[in-house]
Chain A
């Protein structure tokens, strides 16, 4: 019973995400709307953590294998990819590195800067929510 209920809640939220995508004019996929709905549901208490946790953790744990079909599908796009293969490879590899450094370093810098402010005993402004 437990897993049926949990899977049901997750599927209902996924479906609600699809509805949002259908109704709203933004280029945002159902999964992202669903993620926002799930987060809001948990924050407001409409969805209880215990009612989704086990099935949710299971789905998250097996997530890597869900990308295998898309990866194998690259075999069908090889023909289109071949003419631009070199620039695509260069841009892909370089971007992964630059983006990781930018996001990682900027956020880490802010975290450490705020930690220092707390250590000095300065007041931190109110959190956003």
Chain B
């Protein structure tokens, strides 16, 4: 069976997408955050790989084409942003100060918790860029001397957590304005959070896309300062 899997270009991706689709059905039926299609798809795919003793590299032979689409898709996030340009012009202060607060909060939270848990300098700088998009975060981690592989893993986990619990967090803390919701998703959970913000609404999606770029760049600027603290 794993022989066939090795030769098949479509087995892995098809399985992941079927799991994703089942996830959307479960989500619609039970309306619970934990039935997150992305989470279900990742867990089911991992279980199948482990049970079938299939290497991730073999799975990724087919699945990498999904990842390949990420750059063009991120480029396209400028389209909803352009459609909301009047809203952006009117609220540029809220956008800039909101994202600035988010970036500082991210760096401060990582700093305080790392201090409390006695992490080493290398572990600390590995986690510093955890809230931003993978491509920028990897660069920051490498530059500061962190463990890049862990940074990537943590960034993805952060995104998935934001994707699953973002709506609940907004509800509990009464973040109601569509602009603010979008910015919150993008600054806390980068592109994976944005995927959820797009489902919530057009304004949310547009602002979340903007937040990926702005928060990423702000983090590049401030992370090197914070790196000196531990």
Contact with B along A45-58 (1 / 0, CB 8 A): 00001001101110
Instruction: Kindly identify which residue among A42, A63, A76 contacts B194, using a CB–CB cutoff of 8 Å.
Output: A63
Distance, CA A66 to CA B17, complexed state (A): 10
- In the assembled complex, the Cα of A56 lies from the Cα of B117 at a distance in Å of 44
Complex contact B75–A108 (CB within 8 A)? no
Given A42-B82, A106-B101, A95-B109 contact (CB < 8 Å) = yes
- Majority SS of interface residues in chain A? helix
Find the A residue at minimum CB distance from B44: A72
A123 within 8 A of B: no
By the criterion CB–CB under 8 Å, are B105 and A98 in contact?
yes
**A residues whose Cβ falls under 8 Å from a Cβ of B:** 10-11, 13-14, 17, 26-32, 34-39, 42-43, 49, 52-53, 55-57, 59-77, 80-81, 84, 87-88, 90-108, 110-112, 114, 127-129
Residues of chain B whose beta carbon lies under 8 Å from any beta carbon of chain A: 16-17, 20, 37-38, 41-42, 45-46, 49-50, 56, 59-60, 63-64, 66-67, 69-83, 85, 89-95, 97-99, 101-102, 104-106, 109-110, 113-114, 117, 119, 123, 127, 130-131, 133-136, 139-140, 143, 147, 149-150, 152-154, 156-163, 165-166, 169-170, 173, 175-177, 179-181, 183-185, 187-189, 191-192, 194-196, 198, 205, 209, 211-213, 216-217, 220
